[in-house]
């Protein structure tokens, strides 16, 4: 075919004829041996391996050359603390470091606590730099590990440099000792404020906040800062603990205010006769001033007040003078109008509340007060001035009795009037037991009584209050014939003529056994108002007429009284009179000081009825002793009416 290329023939014609590798015999000729074909991948691998071996050989040769060139020297690019150590031996590097790295001696670490600063060099804090070890570490760069590692380190050091930190030695014991000494300057004990009194001067000491430096925190800061080899300010960690009481100036001011002027204590609404006022000068107050540390809700403070014990002792002395028993108003009953007429105003009861007063005093002085009032508790009486006969159930006279005392001395009449006045206008509540002794009070000269004859033991003697039994006897009879229950009654030791007298001046033996004696506080007369109404008592003494009349006003409940007497029985004649010498009497003077009376027994029976029903029965047997007369005579008296005078006891 013309114009056509036969790729195969062309390929065949141009293909070289292989030769026998052993004999050079062409193929197809005797002696030709066919050679195996080589794989291209194998050929490529073999070529790469050979190149790689060659590369490593070149690297090794370079390392050896580089090591040989820098034998005994620090590789280029190695520095420490800003100093280039390239090409220096270890000794040269150590010398250079010693010359230029002076941070332990030159550096400054400043510790700060507020405005207080303390400076120290790193060496004072225990920092040292090991130049030889640092130089050795610099020399080891690029020389540790296999060839590849060393070469890589060398190339990296040469290209990007290597900064070796100096090898430091930090002795924390040195730093700890330094910081402990510093803490002694920073630390401060907790001090509480205090207040005291010296004379009348108040002394105050301010408190102090406790401070404690945290040494461990400062040591930790040094551990972090010193490796940087730079100056630094380290704020100290200081723990502050305030005292429970930091400031006592307010309490001191209060104490000064208390002692700045006298303290006056008065009775509230003081009336004539009330005690006080009492004034305490600053010197006295200073001795009584107490400064106590108290805690409330976890908070403490000083409490300034006057000593409770001292105040209590003072108030206990004052209390009896202030005590006042509540007293009902006293009235008389107007028989014409059937209305009450005010005789004496009611008395509001009063007593000193000591505990409340102490509290009030300390509260008021804390407010700066110097004029204080006692805390007085009051008790209103049951019957006030505005009471009416209707409100008390008083309508009429329900009992009245009169006794006579002819022949009484002026002193005895005075005592009768004094004792009777204690009961005039007195009210007895319904259901109450009335005590004559409680109302009459102490029978003494101070209470207006005079000396007169009284029965004392087995004698009639001169004593305070003679004649009071005329009053008790009259009350007893008013109660007896009024039909009120008799709770307590005591007769006299012997029959007393006064109590059997009649209006005409004679004697009625039927009155024997209807007497009652009172000797405060041991002997009393008591009765009960068993009605549903108040009972008003009125007493009237007729001095010239020698009589005492006692009246009961209330509302009659229809009770009726029946009584009878046994009369005088078992009469025992009086003993012979006794004569005694009395040096106070003149010669020839004879005076009778006691009077004779026969002994006897008398029984009184009383029955009280209402609407035919017995509501009370009372029987009293009185045993009277025989009583001898007693005469006294002056020394040397003759013609004494007895052959054997009795010696003075």
Percentage of residues in the chain with pLDDT exceeding 90?
49
Q: Mean pLDDT over residues 468-473, rounded?
A: 92
Sheet architecture: strand order including 162-163: 83-84, 78-80, 162-163
| pLDDT tens-digit series, residues 392-412 | 999 999 999 999 999 888 888
Q: Sorting pLDDT into bands at 50, 70 and 90, what band is 71?
A: confident
Separation of first and last alpha carbons in the chain: 203
Q: Which domains does the chain have, with CATH numbers?
A: 249-379 (3.10.20.800), 393-633 (no CATH)
Place of tokens 């009349």: 549
What number of helices (H) and strands (E) belong to the chain? 16, 37
454 pLDDT band, cuts 50/70/90, is low
For residues 496 and 630, is the Cβ–Cβ distance under 8 A? no
**pLDDT band at 627; cut points 50, 70, 90:** confident
Q: What is the predicted pLDDT for the residue at 3?
A: 35
User: For residue 389, is pLDDT > 50?
Assistant: yes
pLDDT above 90: residue 554: yes
The pLDDT of residue 562 is: 97
What is the per-residue pLDDT for 101?
82
- Distance between CA atoms of residues 216 and 238, nearest Å: 11
Residue 646 has pLDDT above 60, yes or no: no
| Angle of CA points 213, 219, 220, to nearest 5° | 115
Return phi, psi of residue 32, to 5°: -80, 135
Diameter over CA atoms, the chain: 223
> pLDDT (tens digit, 9 = 90+) per residue, 294-345?
888 778 888 888 899 999 999 999 999 999 989 999 999 999 999 999 999 9
- Within 8 A by CB and 6+ apart from 287, the residues are 310
Whether residue 588 is predicted with pLDDT greater than 80 in this model: the reply is yes
Residues 6+ apart with CB under 8 A from 58: none
The size of the chain, in residues, is 649
Give the pLDDT of residue 25: 53
* 93-115 confidence digits (pLDDT tens): 888 888 888 889 899 999 999 99
Position 64 scores a pLDDT of 73
Give mean pLDDT, residues 597-620: 94
**pLDDT digit string (tens) for 103-154?**
898 999 999 999 999 999 999 999 988 888 988 888 888 888 887 888 788 8
pLDDT at 200: 85
Closest by CA position to 458, among listed 644, 632, 625 = 625
Instruction: Evaluate whether 459 touches 631 at the Cβ level (below 8 Å).
Output: no
List, for residues 335-374, the tens digit of each pLDDT value. Answer: 999 999 999 999 999 999 999 999 999 999 888 899 999 9
pLDDT of 66 higher than 90? no
pLDDT at 490: 94
Predicted pLDDT of residue 27: 57
pLDDT for residue 35: 57
Q: Which pLDDT value is given to residue 61? A: 74
pLDDT of residue 596: 84
pTM for the full predicted model: 0.59
> pLDDT of 164-187, one tens digit each?
888 888 899 999 999 999 999 999
The average confidence (pLDDT) of the chain is 86
From 65-74, 215-224, 287-296, the region with the lowest mean pLDDT: 65-74
* Nearest-angstrom CA–CA distance, 475 and 400: 9
> Has residue 517 got a pLDDT over 80?
yes
Express as a percent the part of the chain with pLDDT over 70. Answer: 90
| pLDDT at residue 4 greater than cutoff 70 | no
Tokens of 523: 């002997």
d(CA 361, CA 374): 8
Instruction: Give the pLDDT score at 1.
Output: 33
If you write DSSP's letter for every residue of 430-492 in order, what string do you get?
TTPEEEHHHHH---SGGGT--EEEEEETTEEEEEETTTHHHHHHHHHHHHHHHTPPEEE----
* Beta carbons of 581 and 609 less than 8 angstroms apart: no
Alpha helices in 542-642 (DSSP H): none
How much is the pLDDT for 212? 96
């Amino acid at each position: 075919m013309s114009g056509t290329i036969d790729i195969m023939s062309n390929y065949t014609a141009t293909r070289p004829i292989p030769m026998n590798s052993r004999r050079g015999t062409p193929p197809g000729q005797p002696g030709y041996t066919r050679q195996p074909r080589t794989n291209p991948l194998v050929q490529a691998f073999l070529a790469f391996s050979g190149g790689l071996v060659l590369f490593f050989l070149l690297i090794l040769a370079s390392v050896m050359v580089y090591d040989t060139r820098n034998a005994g020297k620090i590789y280029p690019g190695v520095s420490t603390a800003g100093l280039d150590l390239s090409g220096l031996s270890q000794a040269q590097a150590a010398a250079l470091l010693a010359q230029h790295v002076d941070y332990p001696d030159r550096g400054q670490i400043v510790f700060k606590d507020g405005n207080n600063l303390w400076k120290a060099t790193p060496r004072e804090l225990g920092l040292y730099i090991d130049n030889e070890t640092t130089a050795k570490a610099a020399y080891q760069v690029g020389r540790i590990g296999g060839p590849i590692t060393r070469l890589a380190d060398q190339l990296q050091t040469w290209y990007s440099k290597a900064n070796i930190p100096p090898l430091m030695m930090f002795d924390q014991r040195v730093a700890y000792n330094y910081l402990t000494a510093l803490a002694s300057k920073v630390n401060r004990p907790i001090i509480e404020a205090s207040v005291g009194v010296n004379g009348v001067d108040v002394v105050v000491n301010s408190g102090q906040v406790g401070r404690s430096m945290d040494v461990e925190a400062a040591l930790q800061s040094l551990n972090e800062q010193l490796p940087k080899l730079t100056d630094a300010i380290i704020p100290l960690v200081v723990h502050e603990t305030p005292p429970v009481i930091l400031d006592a100036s307010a309490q001191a001011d209060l104490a000064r205010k208390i002692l700045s002027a006298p303290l006056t204590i008065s009775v509230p609404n003081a009336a004539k006769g009330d005690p006080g006022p009492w004034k305490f000068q600053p010197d006295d107050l200073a001795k009584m001033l107490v400064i106590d540390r108290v805690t409330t809700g976890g908070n403490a403070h000083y409490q300034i007040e006057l000593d409770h014990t001292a105040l209590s002792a003072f108030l206990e002395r004052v209390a009896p003078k202030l005590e006042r028993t509540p007293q009902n108003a006293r009235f008389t009953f107007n028989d014409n109008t059937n209305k009450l007429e005010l005789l004496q105003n009611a008395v509001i009861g009063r007593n000193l509340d000591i505990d409340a007063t102490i509290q009030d005093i300390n509260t008021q002085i804390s407010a700066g007060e110097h004029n204080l009032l006692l805390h007085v508790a009051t008790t209103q009486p049951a019957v006030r001035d505005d009471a009416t006969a209707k409100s008390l159930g008083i309508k009429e006279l329900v009992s009245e009795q009169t006794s006579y005392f002819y022949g009484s001395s002026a002193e005895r009449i005075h005592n009768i009037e004094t004792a009777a006045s204690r009961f005039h206008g007195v009210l007895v509540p319904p259901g109450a037991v009335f005590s004559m002794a409680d109302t009459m009070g102490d029978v003494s000269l101070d209470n207006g009584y005079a000396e007169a004859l009284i029965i004392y033991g087995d004698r009639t003697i001169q004593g305070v209050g003679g004649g009071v039994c005329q009053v008790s006897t009259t009350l007893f009879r008013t109660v007896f014939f009024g039909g009120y229950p008799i709770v307590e009654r005591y007769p006299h030791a012997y029959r007393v003529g006064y109590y059997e007298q009649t209006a005409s001046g004679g004697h009625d033996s039927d009155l024997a056994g209807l007497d009652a004696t009172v000797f405060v506080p041991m002997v009393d007369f008591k009765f009960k108002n068993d009605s549903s109404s108040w009972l008003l008592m009125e007493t009237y003494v007729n001095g010239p007429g020698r009589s005492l009349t006692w009246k009961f006003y209330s509302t009659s409940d229809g009770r009726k009284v029946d009584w009878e007497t046994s009369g005088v029985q078992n009469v025992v004649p009086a003993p012979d009179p006794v004569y005694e010498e009395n040096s106070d009497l003149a010669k020839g003077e004879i005076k009778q000081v006691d009077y004779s009376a026969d002994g006897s027994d008398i029984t009184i029976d009383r029955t009280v009825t209402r609407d035919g029903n017995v509501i009370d029965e009372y029987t009293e047997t009185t045993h009277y002793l025989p009583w001898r007369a007693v005469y006294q005579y002056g020394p040397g008296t003759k013609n004494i009416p007895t052959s054997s005078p009795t010696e003075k006891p």
